[in-house]
Amino acid sequence: MKVTILGCGTASLDLKKHESGYLLGHDGKYYLFDSGAGTAYRLLEVGVKVTDIEVIFYTHFHNDHINDLPAILWSSNFHDNSRSRELNLYGPHGFKDYCNILLEKITVSSKSFKFPIDVQEVTNKEFSVGGLNIKTQELKHFGNIAYRVEADGKVLVYSGDTEYCKEIEEIAREADVLILECGVAKAGEPHLVPEECGIVAKNANVKKLILTHMYPELDNVDVISIVKKNFDGEIELAEDFKVIDI
């Protein structure tokens, strides 16, 4: 598996950090996790067309994680981007209603699309997609679900957004790579702080920790040093276009 970070940013707009988007490549196929604003263009920048993606996994409905879904749907229906094969969308509770409203708003009816769209809700479920075995777990952040992906004996976990909870430690257990939000500097918000990220990684015994989704208040903070107080494993800061081999 290989992950390309398309956007490691937040709702606070930053030209160097587009909103959340993570591209997973495995066995010649592409899978997308979240698609905040800018994701569709980031795909082009790394040489991937929206029609190359058959599956998109969403963590929750906050705009910085799902903004570009209508852009992906709309552009897939026209000209050089025209799609014929099915697009499979996975998300948390309420995702079907969300997509039904979206399709109604951006077209006269969903039948206007030239390609089939399959929408599934997968909160706290285990299932397989292509060569990937997937497990999801609801976390403490407005219905957000984390994804645990297993393939070829390796494990990738993507948290989406969360505050500290035992559920993130459980789903991240023994992961080769944990892409974990590290949103804010001080506790009290529905996001993790650096100290908590270290605790999660230690308790889950992950091999590599990728810290992402940092708001500007952490720009001048030595986040890695803080995390290392609780976790002595490998730590990296997410960057747009960073490639992670798993």
**pLDDT at site 81:** 62
pLDDT in tens, 128-152: 999 999 999 999 999 999 999 999 9
pLDDT in tens, 213-230: 999 999 999 999 999 999
Closest alpha carbon to 20 in 42, 4, 37: 37
**pLDDT at site 126:** 98
**pLDDT at site 106:** 83
Structure tokens at 168: 């993130």
Closest alpha carbon to 148 in 211, 204, 213: 204
**pLDDT at site 155:** 98
pLDDT in tens, 1-13: 999 999 999 999 9
pLDDT average, residue stretch 94-111: 83
- The torsion angle over the Cα atoms of residues 217, 19, 181 and 144, rounded to 10 degrees, is 120
C-alpha Rg value of the chain to the nearest Å: 17
Q: Is the pLDDT of residue 111 over 90?
A: no
Closest alpha carbon to 177 in 20, 5, 18: 5
- Is residue 184 a contact partner of residue 195, using CB atoms and an 8 Å limit? no
- Is residue 194 a contact partner of residue 227, using CB atoms and an 8 Å limit? yes
Sign of CA dihedral 68, 72, 74, 79: positive
Whether this model's pTM surpasses 0.85: yes
Closest alpha carbon to 130 in 158, 151, 159: 151
pLDDT average, residue stretch 56-79: 93
In the predicted model, what is the mean pLDDT of the chain? Answer: 95
Closest alpha carbon to 110 in 96, 94, 90, 91: 96
- Is residue 209 a contact partner of residue 178, using CB atoms and an 8 Å limit? yes
> Who contacts 222 (Cβ-Cβ below 8 Å, separation ≥6)?
none
